[in-house]
Structures are given as structure tokens and as C-alpha cells.
Amino acid sequence: MSYLRSSFRHPQAATNELGYTQANYEGALSTLCAGCGHDSISNSIINACFELSLEPHKIAKMSGIGCSSKTPAYFLSNSHGFNSVHGRMPSVTTGANMANRDLTYIGVSGDGDTASIGMGQFMHLVRRNLNMVYIVMNNGVYGLTKGQDSATADLGSASKKGVPNMYEPMDLCELAISLGSGYVARSFSGDKDQLVPLLKGAIKHNGFALIDCISPCVTFNNNPDSTKSYEWVRDHKEATGTFDLVPKAEEIIVKAPGSEKETITMHDGTMITLKRQSESLDIKCRESVLMALEEAKQNKQVLTGLLHLNVDSQNTHEIINTSQRPLNTLNEADLCPGNEALQALNQSLR
Ligand code: SF4
Ligand code: MG
């Protein structure tokens, strides 16, 4: 049995601005359980990178341990990748990002990998505002080790084993917002129309972007008593509004007077257009979003969409003023200040 995809494609398959077809962004065939939400997220990542016309060799996909962290094998096979140890994807990505700021970093993790063993690393990554996309494939269980409740399982939710979870869940979006992340979104693996634009916006965001994506585990946590099942999420999903990413070169259609549509310019000139639901929240205000998330929980709803956006924050490179160029492009002349500068430095320390 082979896990390699056939290279045969329709001769008239659509191409992007680089002349690539979607096949240039695919990976190996998935070995996850049939119906696992993670495969849908992998496909949305492929769509987002294809539609943004990213050069695959300018992307680095990073992961930890778990079913979710296996997925980088199933997308972007022409990109760089590093499958790190459990919960340590943030520090490995920090090192890579510091060495080469020119790559697009897409980190993939799970609720176990992030909300338990990797929690400390996750929190410091957010507060440092590392320029990366962080996707949590959130199913509320440890799928790879056969279905134990994770720290994002809702109180009272029961997995296939049937025992209701006794502990309060962690809300990774609330945590990221309170630690200062400028791009926080929640989505559902089965809602590609929402997830693909959210991924494109996250890739374009300058700084740390979190997408907490509910992704049902069909093998251990897709039963009627689970709040991470396909059925429950479909029945309780509430969106903040619709969202679209407009590339820099495209004309922005001016909003109709009195509509809830808003256009926000990102760091690189691309625009985010937001069409809010009438009574929805102010995504630029942290307090408003945190209150809306709590209210949704009390109403037994999952609030999805772009939850918080702040395009004015500085990323780690800007905060600590690093080299504008990747370290492997620096030569001796760039790195050696010369004898005079060294003497002056020594003098200043005497
Ligand atoms: Fe997906 Fe669950 Fe199967 Fe893991 S065990 S591949 S999370 S369905
Ligand atoms: Mg999990």
C-alpha cells in the first residue's frame, strides 16, 4: 500500500498567480481515521496557501505530538517541516523564526499538545507575539492515546467512554486575547467557507495569530453526549459575522451606507472586510470579545469567526530589533563590526 498521491491531475486544473495548481500544495495521503476533522483542516490549509499564491518553499510547517501534529505530512509536501516533541512546537518555531524571518510559519497543534504539556510554551509564545499562525485542532480528547479527556473538554461533556468530564475547560481564545494576541479566531473543521478566509487572514497578520478549530474525533469523541461532536457543534454554532480577505491589488467595494460592513487594512496592505451580524461584538475591543465569549458559553453556544483583531501590535523581531535579513544570508562584513568598533566598546567598559 502506498501513501503517495497520484501525480495525475486534470490538464485544465486551475492555477494561481505563480502558475501552480492545488497539487503543488498537497501532501501524502492521510492515514488518520476516515472522517477525522483534522483532514478537513489540512484541506483548508492547502486551499488558503494556494489562493494566496504562496511559494511552498517559503513556508515552514511546525508541529508537536498527537493526531493533529501528524497532519503536516498531509499538506504542503514541498515546504519545510519540523515535527518536534510534545508541547515544544512553540520553542522550536521561535528558534526557526528568529533565524529566518522570511518564511511563513504555520504551527499545528492539538488541545492536548497545547492546553496541557505545552501550555507554558504556548503562553510565552503569545505574549512575545511571534509572527506565525498557530492552529489548534481541538477535539477535546487525546485521540492518539485512545480518548482521555483533554483540558479543553467541556464540563459535563462525555466522550465515547461515557464518563462526564468533571473539570472546567480551558478556553484558548480567551487566554490568547488576554495575553495580547492581535488575531484570534475560532472555527469548525466542517465549515470550510469560514475557515479558509480565517486562515488567509491569519497568514497575512503581522504577529501571533491563533485559530482554535473545533475538529471532531470520530473515533473517541463524536457521540451525542460530547460538545465536540459534529452534531453538537453544527447545532450550537453562532458566527460573529462573515469575513473575507481582499488582496492588496484588488479594488475594495465601498460599503453600503448603514451596513455593518467594515474594512481593516493589514500590515502589508491587504484588507480584511468584515460583515457583522447586527447585534455582534466589537472585535477590536478585548473586553467586549471576552464578555461575548462568556455569554455564548452560558447560552451553550460556540462563538465562531474572527473574535479579535489588532493590526497595530509589534512582532518579536520588531520588539527586540533583530536583523532584517535571515541569519544565513549574513556574511563576515555584516557580522564583524571591525577593530575600531571593538576598541571603542572595550574602552566604554573599562
Ligand atoms: Fe482523528 Fe480521533 Fe482518529 Fe485521531 S483517533 S485520527 S483525532 S478520529
Ligand atoms: Mg485532541
* DSSP annotation of 75: B
Any domain includes 348:
no
Q: Of all protein residues, whose CA lies closest to atom 2 belonging to ligand 1?
A: 217
31's grid cell:
492515514
* Domains: count for the chain: 1
Q: Is 2 part of any domain? A: no
Is residue 13, in this structure, part of any structural domain at all? no
Cα first-last separation, the chain:
70
Ligand 1 pocket residue status of 226, Cβ below 6 Å: no
Task: Report whether residue 104 contacts ligand 1, using a CB cutoff of 6 Å.
Answer: no
- Distance (angstroms) between ligand 2 centre and the Cα of 249 equals 39
Q: Would you say residue 186 lies in a domain? A: yes
Q: In terms of DSSP H, where are the helices of the chain?
A: 37-51, 67-70, 89-99, 111-112, 119-128, 172-178, 192-204, 230-236, 286-298, 316-320, 332-335, 339-349
How many C-beta atoms surround the C-beta of residue 284 within 10 A?
15
From atom 5 of ligand 1, which residue's Cα is the shortest distance away? Answer: 143
Name the pTM for this structure.
0.93
Q: Residue 320: inside a domain, yes or no?
A: yes
Report CA(27)–ligand 1 centroid distance (Å).
18
Q: Establish whether residue 160 lines the binding site of ligand 1, counting it when its CB lies within 6 angstroms of any ligand atom.
A: no
| Cell matching residue 210 | 491563533
Domain membership flag for residue 16: no
264-269 long-range contacts (CB < 8 A, ≥24 apart) are 264/309, 264/311, 265/311, 266/201, 266/204, 266/205, 266/206, 266/311, 267/204, 267/205, 267/206, 267/311, 268/204, 268/206
In a domain, 349, yes or no: no
Q: Which residues form the domain of 221?
A: 22-329
Q: Which atom of ligand 1 is nearest to the CA of 35?
A: 8
Residue 86 in contact with residue 117, Cβ under 8 Å? Answer: yes
Residues with a beta carbon under 5 angstroms from ion ligand 2:
110-112, 139
Residue corresponding to grid cell 459575522: 241
**Is the Cβ atom of 204 under 6 angstroms away from ligand 1?**
no
Q: Is residue 312 part of a domain?
A: yes
For residues 290 and 146, give the distance between their C-alpha atoms in angstroms, rounded to a whole number: 33
Quote the pLDDT of residue 266.
83
CATH of residue 252: 3.40.50.970
Helices 119-128 and 89-99: crossing angle in degrees, nearest 10, is 30
**190 CB contacts (<8 Å, ≥6 apart)?**
37, 40, 216, 230, 233, 234
Q: Where are the beta strands (DSSP E) in the chain?
A: 59-63, 80-83, 104-110, 132-138, 141-142, 148-149, 183-188, 208-214, 237-239, 241-246, 261-265, 271-276, 302-309
From the CA of 50, how far away is ligand 2's center (Å)? Answer: 27
Asked whether 150 lines ligand 1 (CB < 6 A), one says: no
Q: In the prediction, which pLDDT does 189 show?
A: 97
Ligand 1 atom having least distance to the Cα of 37: 1
- Judged by DSSP in three states, 281 sits in coil
> Digits of tens for pLDDT over the chain (350 positions)?
457 788 788 889 999 999 999 999 999 999 999 999 999 999 999 999 999 999 999 999 999 999 999 999 999 999 999 999 999 999 999 999 999 999 999 999 999 999 999 999 999 999 999 999 999 999 999 999 999 999 999 999 999 989 999 999 999 999 999 999 999 999 999 999 999 999 999 999 999 999 999 999 999 999 999 999 999 999 999 888 888 888 776 655 544 444 567 788 888 888 888 776 656 688 999 999 999 999 999 999 999 999 999 999 999 999 999 999 999 999 998 999 899 999 999 999 99
Q: Which residue shows C-alpha cell 473515533?
A: 219
pLDDT at 259: 53
What residue type is 319 in one-letter code? Answer: I
Query: 51-66 burial, b for 16+ CB within 10 Å, e for fewer?
Result: bbebebeebbbbbbbb
The pLDDT score that the predictor gives to residue 257 is 44
